[in-house]
Structure 1
Amino acid sequence: MAQEMAIPDTTWQSSKKPLKLDHAEPLYIDLIRDLGAHKGEKEWNLGAGMTDNLGYDRYEFLVEYEWAPIDRLGLEIEVPLSMYSTNSKDRRPEVNRPSDRIESLKLAAQYTFLVNDRFKTSMALGGITEFELTDLDRIRNDDMLQGILFNPFVVAAKKWGSNFHSLIYTGPRLFNHFGHRGLETSYEVNTSAHYMIPNSRNFVGIEVNKELQSGHMDMVLRPQMRLVINEGLMIGIVTGIPVTKERERMSTFFRLIYEPGHRKH
């Protein structure tokens, strides 16, 4: 009787998750989801910050939910809010102070198309669509939507050795303001470098936000740190130091990050 050929068990292969590398994610302009995200990952963010401008202070708040419906694809919904208060640095604060507003309804997607273990590098393409909303004090008189902003972007991140991380996030911003001809365009280049504390998810680093528009560049340095409170709950602390912005002074920003069901691998 012929011996039966053994059939190898490949169950582990079908259930094995695709490769995902750990990269330190910037805290102010963050990613849609981790690079190389696995299906089922999800995250809630609550953000709050204050910026000292000439004549007024700006208070920003945001609620953000992001998740991965399939491996390597991240989706996001965000609602940012801005409120303003006058200060004593302007003789005509009521004229220069913007109106309070729910900034927009922000929808975004990001797909990681490269995860290279040899070079410790991940790359992704994505896009953000923002439905810009009218100032709260003008909603009764104007249409609720004042325009649409589209921001396609590319992300590249690399891990250097065991603990150092770098990342670049760049792309154009195209704003179509209803009632105006043509597009308002700008280009952003956001770079960051972080040091991850060994055997933890804590890090310290710096994020550099640069925006180019009409031949002028605004740049803000944002030293930052992330602290783990407990498994799945972290807080990010950011300080903003403007380099070229003429109307903005120091700023602060805090981000509370909650990952339901997070487990340390």
Structure 2
Amino acid sequence: MKRTFFLSAFITTLSFTAYAQETAIPDTSQQQAPKPLKLNHAEPLYIDLIRDLGAHKGEKEWNIGAGMTDNLGYDRYEFLVEYEWAPIDRLGLEIEVPVSVYTTNSKDRRPEVNRPSDRIESLKLAAQYTFLVNKRFNTSMALGTITEFELTDLDRIRRDDVFQGFLFNPFLVAAKKWGSNFHSLIYTGPRVFNHFGHSGLETSYEINTSAHYMIPNSRNFVGLEVNKEMQGGHMDMVLRPQMRLVINEGLMIGIVTGIPVTKERERMSTFFRLIYEPGHKKH
């Protein structure tokens, strides 16, 4: 069961890559064919997309993220590096490596029990294909899949297997532009985790919604992202007010604040994302 599920998840992600490589035929004609329609949608900053909806071939982006979360008895510092690119029109691929470092705080009386171990979280491979771009309704929709190969805690990596499991997350994205400057988006799908050495699968379901206001004649925006995860009859919800600022044509910074609706597991958090798009040109 474990091997079958592992292979199916891995093959699903790689199939997108294989399809891209087989169909990305160089254009040898002197006159380039017109690009397919792409609508401008505001992308959430915490749970971001694999690539812009309706991405054009050749687009690429580097992200460097850092954040801190107060998890009651300990603080979690998260860091990530990710690379996104579009090998063909409307197909986005991503590789990401997230890292978590934990420190105790003054509220924790048993730090050796409550504080998790530092770890490189996973190797994350993802793909997203935009199957609908509708100009009349200013709407784009995409299907995607994320496969994360979960790594062992750093203090156990010498005596345990490097990989402790994998997570499979198929998802649907739907985005709509309202008028000239208002944007909404929903990102939803199940998360299935297979922990090696344990019987059964852990499942949860996430619904992430966002609404943004894009400053006219710019790529700057302000907005609210709402992350909801349901597992075992319990739902965690975090409100994330955010803003994106353009530093220059290909460089932006995202600033996010996390406010949990219930404070059973965590308190306030912050997150910053540096976004670099090599070769970006203003349309």
Tell me whether 185-194 or 239-248 shows the greater mean CA deviation: 239-248
Equivalent residue, structure 2, for 1:125: 143
Q: CA deviation at 1:43?
A: 0.0
Cα deviation 1:24-59 (Å, max 9, x = unaligned): 000000000000000000000000000011111000
2:87 matched residue in structure 1? 69
Residues 146 and 12 of structure 1, relative CA distance in 2, 3 Å threshold: same
**Bigger mean CA offset, 85-94 vs 252-261:** 85-94
> Distance between the aligned counterparts of 1:3 and 1:167, measured in 2?
29
Partner Cα distance (1:185, 1:6) in 2: 35
Residue in structure 1 matched with residue 202 of structure 2 by the alignment: 184
Cα distance, 1:244 vs structure 2: 2.4
Farther off after superposition, 10-19 or 150-159: 10-19
- SS of the residue corresponding to residue 3 of structure 1 reads helix
RMSD: 6.0
Q: Shift in Å at residue 90 of structure 1?
A: 1.6
SS at match of 2:22: coil
Residues 124 and 149 of structure 2 are in contact (CA less than 8 Å); yes or no, is this contact kept in structure 1?
A: yes
Which moves more between the two structures, 189-198 or 242-251? 242-251
Q: Judging changes above 3 Å, is the alpha-carbon distance between structure 1 residues 9 and 22 closer, same or farther for their aligned structure 2 residues?
A: closer
Q: Greater CA deviation, 12-21 or 230-239?
A: 12-21
- What is the CA distance between 1:104 and its match in structure 2? 0.0
Q: In structure 2, what is the equivalent of residue 261 of structure 1?
A: 279
Distance apart, 1:9 and its partner CA: 17
Looking at CA atoms only, which structure, 1 or 2, has the larger radius of gyration?
1
The aligned counterpart of 1:98 is 116
Secondary structure class of the residue paired with 2:107: coil
Alignment deviations for residues 169-215 of structure 1 (CA, whole Å, 9 cap, x no partner): 00000000000111100000000000000000000000000000000
Shift of the 250–74 alpha-carbon distance from structure 1 to 2, 3 Å rule, reads same
Which structure features the higher share of helix residues? Answer: 2
CA distance in 2, matches of 1:180, 1:245: 30
CA contact (8 A) 1:217 1:244 kept: no
Q: SS of the counterpart of 1:167?
A: strand
Alpha-carbon shift at residue 4 of structure 1 (Å): 40
Does the aligned pair in 2 maintain the 1:21–1:115 contact within 8 Å?
Answer: yes
What's the CA shift for 1:11?
8.3
Q: Name the counterpart of 2:249.
A: 231
Q: Which one of the candidate residues 60, 71, 75 is aligned to 1:42?
A: 60
Tell me, what secondary structure is at the counterpart of 1:241?
strand
Deviation at 1:155, TM superposition (A): 0.1
User: Superposed, which structure 2 residues align to 1:150-161 within 5 Å?
Assistant: 150-161=168-179
Q: 1:97 to 1:160 in 2, by over 3 A?
A: same
Contact 2:24 2:87 in 1 (8 A): no
CA–CA separation in structure 2 for the residues paired with 1:117 and 1:194: 19
Any unmatched runs of 5+ in structure 1? none
Normalised TM-score (structure 1): 0.95
Which structure's residues are more often strand, by fraction? 1
C-alpha displacement at 1:94, in angstroms?
Answer: 1.7
Q: Is the 8 A contact 2:21 2:87 kept in 1?
A: no
What is the identity percentage for the equivalent residue pairs of Structure 1 and Structure 2? Answer: 90
Q: In the aligned structure 1, how far is the partner of 2:66 from the partner of 2:22?
A: 66
CA spacing shift, 1:146–1:21, aligned 2, 3 Å: same
CA shift for structure 1 position 247? 1.5
Deviations 1:108-128 (A, max 9, x none): 000000000000000000000
For residues 26 and 205 of structure 2, what CA distance do their matches in structure 1 show?
Answer: 53
Q: Quick one: structure 1 residues 12 and 199, their matched pair in 2 at CA, closer, same or farther if it must change by over 3 Å? A: farther
Q: Do the aligned residues in 2 keep the contact of 1:207 with 1:224 (CA within 8 Å)?
A: yes
What is the Cα deviation at residue 15 of structure 1?
1.1
1:216–1:251 distance in 2 versus 1, CA, 3 Å = same
d(CA) in 2 for partners of 1:36, 1:8: 20
Q: Given that residues 218 and 245 in structure 1 are in contact (C-alpha distance below 8 angstroms), is that contact kept between their aligned partners in structure 2?
A: no
- Give CA deviations for 1:45-85 in whole Å, capped at 9, x if unaligned: 00000001111100000000000000000000000000000
